Structure 1
């Protein structure tokens, strides 16, 4: 029997739990209408699932790049970008093709120009009133900009011998983000609050404060900061790893505080101060999840493993699936079905993610691994030939 999901022995189960939580939060937020009453408090903060994904990406990508540079004093940019390309683009393009070829599956009012999706610039210059379809792609733009800049930044910082200033540089970047959001709020949101135009106020908030990459680096920076500690501060790493459950508890306390600050996503305090506070809270939770002493690290769950594996595919397709299911169930005159549309949509979102994972993600990841192994073998053979050539010259 072919295994659909391969569970590696060195897998960090704590991070699987967090990925599963992140995608569930996002789905609850986007599937908000008709959810059970007891999920309403979670729906209010569901948008932060994206910020949890940012912290996780910052940590995982940052740790990988910093570890490579620490060991080799260089980063193989070709290998890094190739890995990201095969991980992100195939499934993304598959969903994009569906959006542009089947207009009936669009959940929103319209689409930005195709070139913006292909260049990952959809989160700039977006008309949030008329281009609502596939709007979740904005976070992929932020991630792609991070992938582009992160390895180059590491190389430049270490070549300039500024690595000791990295924590301060990261804190400065978070501060710059806060200042930019304050400026954009005052320029593009506050005037419409004063004029009483809620529609333009929401539009300004989304387009100028919430979506642009330069305003949303808090979570990624927190993740990279954790990666820096775990790569270059062994004393700090040992200390933090001893108190994994305390780190989780501290993260939850900060998250509850952030919940109060971000009670309304449309507020100044949520957009300006809430974002770094949420990222900090998730940062402590991530530290707990990667600490061997914590309950999240020790706990194994097949459910969260599957959800973590499918999280990217579900994120790409869940709004399209939701729209399709709502259309299919609209004419069904069944009380049970109509009362449980939310749960039915969740189930079909997972099924949609599974299909995308099996037929697009997994084959391209196999191809990526084969290409990378092939390149490594070629380099090894080339190295041996050069070595033999040198030996022959000196004989």
Structure 2
């Protein structure tokens, strides 16, 4: 166990260090956003903070960009060696990475929900909250088959994992049959066409529904795969440039003006997107904002890995980000439950001051790490080792 804890603070040899920093920021953004949602009244007197925190759902999009980059990178490396994809190896590796922690979480929370319903029924407690719980429990099957982005069960956050799993299912097939069969220019053109599809869907859907940030908006735009996979595809586009246009990367990293101009541009994209109110009925903000945001994230990802001696790369490569990055998946699964425990334990409520709000967030973050660490060590790590063993044995054969 001591070795596992020490390893949390070490970057592995095969890891791209700046990506750990980005992954850590992704989970931190999600935590801040969901913490804010539970305590809106505390932040309401501070409009700038409210605007920023309400937009930090962007952490999910950053996760998507990272997934698109890393998954496509692995597939491309496989293709370059064998001129074909080993689907069996890919899907087994994904299964060992995602399923154990995910299904443990779903099973425990589902059984807890069923026990609660049984208790309510036994005590003849029936109200709107109980009825909503019964309905949510009835929809829980969707999460078990990765359709949580179309039918919400008892969890409001597992939709993004369904989106990623759908991408893992579809994308390798498209790579083997279409994308990887073409040269760089054609492949980039095809990827760009695919990238633009979600924003077209968002425009079409938004023109037909009334209101913003309400249930139809979430059900038809924010959650579905077809309106959100552009954040995954932009990660693929970044990977393709990184892996196949070394001359572009060298030109950018060797020219200080180019590099920092692009860095400023991508940061300005993120600043702009994070200063757009989620509740303002502005057409652009609910269609193209996603693109401005994911391009900003993909651009920073690309720049941070092509110039490892740059300040942005060194910052994102700090070992302090490594434990949060490695625990990010387990934290994401359990964070709502641990957040509820934290709010009770640290007495966080609407009367909490703005200073205490931030101080107790840090305490909550520490508790997230402490409580998810055993799950990581005893659930995730054994299957990661099995995954590596499977990968090594396949490479030998």
Shorter-chain TM band: 0.7 to 0.9
Q: What corresponds to 1:392 in structure 2?
A: none
Match of 2:330 among 304, 313, 328: 313
What is the CA–CA distance in structure 2 between the aligned matches of 1:324 and 1:97, rounded to whole Å?
A: 19
Match of 2:164 among 113, 133, 143: 143
Q: CA deviation at 1:90?
A: 0.8
What is the CA–CA distance in structure 1 between the aligned matches of 2:250 and 2:313, rounded to whole Å?
A: 15
Q: What corresponds to 2:304 in structure 1?
A: 289
- Aligned pairs for 1:152-231 (under 5 A) are 152-157=173-178, 161=182, 164-187=185-208, 189-190=209-210, 193=211, 202-231=214-243
Larger radius of gyration: 1
Task: Give the alignment's Cα RMSD to 1 decimal.
Answer: 3.0
1:69 and 2:79 matched: yes
Unaligned runs of 5+ in 1: 380-395
- Aligned pairs for 1:300-339 (under 5 A) are 300-329=317-346
- Aligned pairs for 1:1-395 (under 5 A) are 2-4=3-5, 5=7, 6-32=10-36, 33-34=38-39, 39-103=49-113, 109=133, 110-111=136-137, 113-126=139-152, 131=153, 133-157=154-178, 161=182, 164-187=185-208, 189-190=209-210, 193=211, 202-242=214-254, 244-262=259-277, 264=279, 267-292=282-307, 293-299=309-315, 300-329=317-346, 341-377=360-396, 379=397
TM-score (norm 1): 0.82
Q: CA deviation at 1:124?
A: 1.0
Can you list the C-alpha shifts for 1:178-232, whole angstroms capped at 9, x where unaligned?
1211222233x32xx3xxxx8xx70100101100001001111111001111222
What is the CA–CA distance in structure 2 between the aligned matches of 1:249 and 1:222, rounded to whole Å?
A: 19
Change (3 A) 1:26 1:230: same
Can you list the C-alpha shifts for 1:219-265, whole angstroms capped at 9, x where unaligned?
11111001111222232232234355443322111112222445547
Change (3 A) 1:42 1:111: farther
Unaligned runs of 5+ in 2: 118-128
Contact 1:318–1:352 (8 Å) recurs in 2: no
What is the CA–CA distance in structure 2 between the aligned matches of 1:44 and 1:335, rounded to whole Å?
A: 18
Contact 2:180–2:187 (8 Å) recurs in 1: no
Q: CA deviation at 1:164?
A: 3.5
What is the CA–CA distance in structure 1 between the aligned matches of 2:28 and 2:282, rounded to whole Å?
A: 24
Q: CA deviation at 1:171?
A: 2.1
Counting matched residue pairs gives: 363
